[in-house]
C-alpha cells in the first residue's frame, strides 16, 4: 500500500483454526505496520520473521496481493501462499485490456464522470468545477 512515496507493509493475522463462523473484523489482528521507501523480498522476509518471533506465531499461510516481491518472500517460508483473487484477476485483466483503445477510452470516460460527480457532491462553484 503506497502512502505518498512510501510503501506500507501491513501484516494482519487471523487464527487459522476455523471456528465454524464467517470471519469478522474482530477476528483480525494487526501484527505489524511498517513503512519503507522500498520493500524487497529480503526485507519482507525479515519483517515476517520478526513478527512471528515477537508474537510467538507459527505462520501456516499468507494471503498476498500477487506482487512479485511478496511471492518471492513467501516462497522462503514453509507455508502456503494464497493469492488474493481480486489482485490476481486485476493482473490478468490488465494483460488482456492494457493496450485496448476502446477499453482505455471507456475507463477514462468513467473516471471523468466519477470525478465530476465528486465535485458536484461537494457543491463546488462552476469555476472550481472547471476541467481543462
Domain span including residue 29: 2-88
Q: What is the pTM of this model?
A: 0.58
Radius of gyration over every alpha carbon of the chain, rounded to an integer in angstroms: 20
Residues 76 and 114 grouped into a single domain: no
Whether residues 57 and 15 share a domain: the answer is yes
Report whether pLDDT(102) > 90. yes
Using the predicted structure, report yes or no on whether residue 106 has a pLDDT greater than 80: yes
Quick check: is 93 in a domain?
no
Structural domains of the chain, count: 2
Considering the domain architecture, whether residues 63 and 111 belong to the same structural domain is answered as no
C-alpha count within 13 angstroms, C-beta hemisphere, residue 83 = 16
pLDDT digits (tens, 9 = 90+) for 15-41: 878 788 888 889 888 998 999 988 887
Spell out where 2-124 has E strands. Answer: 2-3, 6-13, 29-36, 61-64, 80-83
Amino acid at each position: 500500500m503506497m502512502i505518498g512515496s512510501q510503501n506500507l507493509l501491513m501484516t494482519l493475522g487471523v487464527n487459522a483454526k476455523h471456528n465454524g463462523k464467517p470471519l469478522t473484523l474482530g477476528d483480525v489482528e494487526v501484527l505489524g505496520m511498517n513503512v519503507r521507501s522500498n520493500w524487497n523480498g529480503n526485507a519482507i522476509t525479515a519483517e515476517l520473521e520478526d513478527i512471528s518471533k515477537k508474537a510467538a506465531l507459527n505462520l501456516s499461510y499468507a494471503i498476498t496481493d500477487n506482487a512479485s516481491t511478496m511471492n518471492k518472500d513467501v516462497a522462503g517460508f514453509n507455508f502456503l501462499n494464497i493469492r488474493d483473487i481480486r489482485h490476481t484477476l486485476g493482473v490478468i485483466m490488465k494483460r488482456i485490456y492494457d493496450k485496448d483503445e476502446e477499453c482505455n477510452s471507456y475507463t477514462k470516460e468513467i473516471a471523468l464522470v466519477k470525478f465530476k460527480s465528486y465535485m458536484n457532491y461537494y457543491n463546488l462553484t462552476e469555476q472550481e468545477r472547471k476541467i481543462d
